[in-house]
Each structure stands twice: as C-alpha cells, then as structure tokens.
Structure 1
Amino acid sequence: MDEVRRRLAAGQYAQAARACEDVEIDGAEASQNEALWEVQIACKLIAGDTDGARFSWKRMPDRFRQGPQVQALGKVLETLWRRDFAAFHREKGGHPWCQTLQPLMAALSQEVHAQIEAEIQQAYSTIALQDLCALLAVSREEGIQVVERNGWTLDGDFAHVVEAPAQAEAALPENAIHSLTKYVVHLDSSK
C-alpha cells in the first residue's frame, strides 16, 4: 500500500490504480482491504478508464460490495458508464465520502468537468447557458466563468462555442523532404 499512497500523493492516479492491481495480484492484502478496491476504482475513473473500473468492480469480493462507500462508488461508476453527467453530480454530491475518498472524488469531479467542457467544445457551436450549467452542475456565475475560461462568447443566455485551434501538423524538415524526393526518384528510375 505504500506505493499506492506515494502515487496518490503525487497525483499519479493511473499509476496508483496499477499499484492497487499489483497489491491485488499479491493477494493477501487485497482480500482484507476494502479501501484498496475503493481507491483502485476511483483512480481508474479519474484516469478515464471506465472499462477498467467496471472490471475492478466485478473482481471485487462480494463481501466488500455491501459497504456504504463502495455502494456509493458503484453508483458513481454506473453514472459515468452510462455517461449520465447530471446523475454523476447527484451521486457524487449525495454521499459523505470517507477521508481516503474525499480528495479522489474532488479530482474525479475536476476530470469529469474537463471532459464535459471538451465534449461541449467538439459537439456544440451554441449552447444555452442553462444547459451548460446543468451539464456541469454549477451556478450561473460559475457557468459564465467556464465560458470565459474557454474563450467562448456569451450572447444573452447562449454561449457561442469557439472550436479549439487545431494542432498544426509538424512540417517535415528540409532534409527529410530531400531524402524522400531522392527515394521516389530512385523508385521511378528502377522501373
């Protein structure tokens, strides 16, 4: 568990999930430690590995699934699996999380917000501010801050989403173009 704690302290959630799996594979500690399973599932969700979190849930010993923390975490997992973000916010906020899970749920909330904002940027050209606030479970003022932070424009009650600038394709260096030209000329001359 020391490796798990170290990874959590560093904010390395994907690596913390892998460290939990290593403890799980070792066997003895995983069969006695409900918190290990909670941390593993939460870290996988933070890392965006919903499938992995589901598989961890299915591998978890049945006796651990009865605890209130695990039940609440299972509901959060289900909402993210169904991509029901409104239900995610209800489930996440509707449960008093233990000291171990509080920072993980805060990190998960930030990741889900970032994911929702990215999806809005891809899928919408205009979105009602009320709908944006509902998706993010934030107040109108916080919704306006999201609009400003993303460089979108606000026109009354609608946010006009500005598409993120596309990453410019890396230009080939001149020597690579020269080598490629020589290769094509060689192929043409060998016919």
Structure 2
Amino acid sequence: MVHLKMAKENVDYKKLQTDLEQQELESAGGVAPAQVYNQLLALYLLHNDMCNAKFLWKRIPQTVKSSTPETVQIWAVGQKLWLRDYPGIYEALKKEWSESISQIMEAVKAATRERAKTLVSKAYSSIDADDFAVFMGMPLSEAIQAATQEGWTYDSATKYIKPTKPVMLKDPELLSEQQLSVLTDYVSFLEA
C-alpha cells in the first residue's frame, strides 16, 4: 500500500496516482483496500479528472462505501466539484480527514482556489469582492489580499476587484476531449 510522505514538496501526486491505479488492478479478488480507493478518488479530484472519479465511484464496491464513511465524504467533494458549487466544495472540504488523505484534500482545496482564480481572471473584467470571496472559499479580507497579491486592483469605494488578464502564450495543442472539458469549464463557470 502506498503511504504519503509528510513533506508536501516530496509528494509526486501523478506517480502516486499511477501506483494506486496499479494496486487497484492487481488487488486480490478485484477489491482493493478502502485507503487505495480513497486516495485514488481524492487524486482524481485533485487533477480535476472528473470522468475517472465518476467511474471509480461506480466501481468501488458497496461494502467499501458503506463501511468507510470517508469514501462517501470524498465523493461529496467530487459531486460539488462536478456541479461547480464553490461554497459547497469548500464546505465539503472542511471535514476531518484521515492522515492518509488529509494532505491530498488540502491540495484539492488549493487547486480548486487556483482554478477559480484562473477562471475569474479569464472571464471577468471586474467582479464584486464578495462574489470573489465565495469563489475562493475565503473570508472577504483574505480574498481581497489574495487578489492584490496577484497584482489585481481592489476599489474599496465600489468593492470591486479588477483582475488582470493572464499572459497568454501560444496555446498548446489540446485533444478534442480536453478542448471540450475546457469549454465546459468556461460555460459552467459563467452560468454559475
């Protein structure tokens, strides 16, 4: 079984994911330990790989789901991510996590905030500071501080944040599935 190293900078999440996928494939009787499913599900959420997360959820045996409440809690985060329910995502992430999963769930929170910040910078010329705080899952003062650290401007009179557009380098070639995922993210974000 793969265990996370305690130092965050030493964890290679892609390699860990590959190792866990291999463990699932090689598990005796086709049922892996709950910790393998939990870590793998959390890593799919971290990498925003919602399709694999959904397929994993469907193939996790019901006995594991019913005997391991943490598995259900991780999937609750996945459901909120799927719906792009930002307040719900951060609320679901507040749960107590076991030692084997807490570091990954912290990384999920950080990655979610980073994706939200990127989407805001691409989709908005200005955004209400309260709305930005909701997207970031932070108190208003912390959200304003996070925005100004990015070089964005905050107008205290109007309470609006003006993000700077990210510097666009030549877009890498995306597979059609990736293009569809990126487009879906933009449209879903704008509808929220």
Give the structure-1-normalised TM-score. 0.80
Alignment of structure 1 residues 1-191 onto 2, 5 Å:
1-2=1-2, 5=4, 10-28=10-28, 31-66=31-66, 67-93=68-94, 95-156=95-156, 157-167=159-169
Distance 2:30 2:93 in 1: 25
The DSSP-based 3-state class of the residue aligned with 2:99 is coil
How far 1:71 sits from its partner (Å)? 1.2
Distance 2:76 2:33 in 1: 20
- Alignment length (residue pairs): 166
Gaps of 5+ in 1: 170-191
Cα 1:109–1:142 shift into 2, 3 Å: same
The share of aligned pairs that are identical, in percent, is 21
Distance 2:29 2:148 in 1: 47
> Do the aligned partners of 2:129 and 2:160 also contact (CA within 8 Å) in 1?
yes
Distance 1:20 1:103 in 2: 16
> Do the aligned partners of 1:44 and 1:52 also contact (CA within 8 Å) in 2?
yes
Query: Larger RCO: Structure 1 or Structure 2 (Cα < 8 Å, ≥ 6 residues apart)?
Result: 2
Cα 1:147–1:21 shift into 2, 3 Å: same
Moved more, 80-89 or 109-118: 80-89
> Do the aligned partners of 2:24 and 2:32 also contact (CA within 8 Å) in 1?
no
Structure 2 equivalent of residue 186 of structure 1: none
Gaps of 5+ in 2: 172-192
> Residue type of the partner of 1:126?
S
> Do the aligned partners of 1:13 and 1:44 also contact (CA within 8 Å) in 2?
no
